[in-house]
Each structure stands twice: as structure tokens, then as C-alpha cells.
């Protein structure tokens, strides 16, 4: 049975997505809300006009952008007399100016719905991250989570 399973069998059609014009705050919000439903999700799908796939922004990408653009603010260095209100204002401004299109990984490979489960497993072994996009052409069909691939393999290995 393991060899007959396909990416389509474990694809999630409920995933986090934002338009490429979304700012960092909107992207963080989309991922945070989606993680409430799917804790293993670690990336947001970025879509261009007409829902065309543009790439992924991962949790790591968002944290790196926050570290670069927000956490290094001189006002947050913990010194006495730091103007926390001003530092917060600058952080909010920065987060509203950085766009999802500025953060995404455009070269992110995608899976096809008919890829066998073994290719899904190999995909995760070869790449960092817990989320893979399943698409046909430029149209996103859904995502596969590493946890779902492992659970499917585990069920098959354990005979369930």
C-alpha cells in the first residue's frame, strides 16, 4: 500500500497564504492563525495575481527578517533611557514596509499531486522545513506537512 500512496492522498487544502503585496505583519498573522489549526505548518504560500504561485515564506524567513529589521533597533538594546515607544513605532513601521515578496524563497521546488509517498519523504529529507507545496503548473492545490508524511509512513510500517 505504501507504494500506491501519493502526495494527493495527504495534501491539505487548508493552508496559510498571502498575496505578494502583504506586509510582514499580515504574513506573520496568516501563519500564526494557520498554526492554530495545523501546528506542523511552518510556511506561508505567497500568491501573485490570479493566484499564481510565487514562493514560500517560512517561519525561519520571518524570524530572520524580524531579527534584521526589528530586533537590532538601537532603541531595543536595553540601555537606560531607551525610548521603548519610539523603538516600537519604528518596529511597526518596518514591519508594515517589508513585503512578503521581499522575503519569499522563489526557487522553492514543488511536488506534483501524483508524486509517490516515497518522493514526498525524499523531498523532506533533502530540504529544510516542514511544509511542501503541491501544485499543478502555477496553481497551488495545497500543502503537505512533514508530520503528515511521517504519520502516513508510520501507519503503513505499523500495519495500520
Does the residue 58 lie in any domain?
A: yes
Does the residue 115 lie in any domain?
A: yes
pLDDT of residue 110: 86
Do 12 and 146 touch, CB atoms closer than 8 A?
no
Does the residue 105 lie in any domain?
A: yes
Q: How far apart are CA 107 and CA 110, in angstroms?
A: 9
Alpha helices in the chain (DSSP H): 7-10, 24-37, 59-66, 84-97, 100-103, 117-126, 146-157
Taking only the tens place, the pLDDT of each residue in 100-126 is 888 887 677 789 999 999 999 999 998
Q: How far is CA 145 from the centre of its chain?
A: 10
Q: How far apart are CA 31 and CA 107, in angstroms?
A: 20
C-alpha torsion 117→60→45→100, nearest 10: -160
CATH number, domain at 149? Answer: 3.10.580.10
Give the count of domains, the chain. Answer: 1
Q: Which of 135, 115, 116, 159 is nearest to 47 (CA)?
A: 135
In this model, does residue 93 exceed pLDDT 80? no
Please compute the mean of the pLDDT values over residues 79-106 and round it to a whole number.
73
More confident residue, 99 or 81: 99
pLDDT of residue 71: 64
- Host domain of residue 92: 7-157
pLDDT of residue 115: 94
In this model, does residue 70 exceed pLDDT 80? no
pLDDT of residue 77: 58
In this model, does residue 26 exceed pLDDT 90? yes
Average pLDDT, the chain: 84
pLDDT band at 64 (very low <50, low <70, confident <90, very high): confident
Amino acid at each position: 500500500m505504501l507504494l500506491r500512496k501519493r502526495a494527493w492522498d495527504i495534501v491539505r487544502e487548508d493552508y496559510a497564504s498571502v498575496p505578494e503585496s502583504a506586509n510582514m505583519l499580515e504574513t506573520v498573522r496568516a501563519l500564526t492563525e494557520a498554526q492554530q489549526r495545523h501546528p506542523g505548518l511552518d510556511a506561508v504560500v505567497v500568491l501573485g495575481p490570479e493566484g499564481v504561485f510565487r514562493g514560500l515564506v517560512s517561519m525561519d524567513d520571518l524570524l530572520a527578517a524580524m531579527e534584521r529589521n526589528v530586533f537590532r533597533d538601537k532603541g531595543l538594546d536595553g540601555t537606560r533611557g531607551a525610548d521603548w515607544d519610539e523603538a516600537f513605532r519604528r518596529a511597526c513601521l518596518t514591519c508594515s514596509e517589508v513585503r512578503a515578496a521581499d522575503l519569499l524563497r522563489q526557487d522553492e521546488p514543488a511536488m506534483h499531486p501524483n508524486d509517490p509517498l516515497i518522493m514526498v519523504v525524499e523531498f523532506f529529507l533533502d530540504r529544510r522545513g516542514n511544509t511542501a507545496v503541491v501544485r499543478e503548473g502555477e496553481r497551488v492545490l495545497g500543502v503537505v506537512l512533514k508530520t503528515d508524511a511521517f504519520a502516513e509512513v508510520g501507519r503503513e510500517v505499523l500495519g495500520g
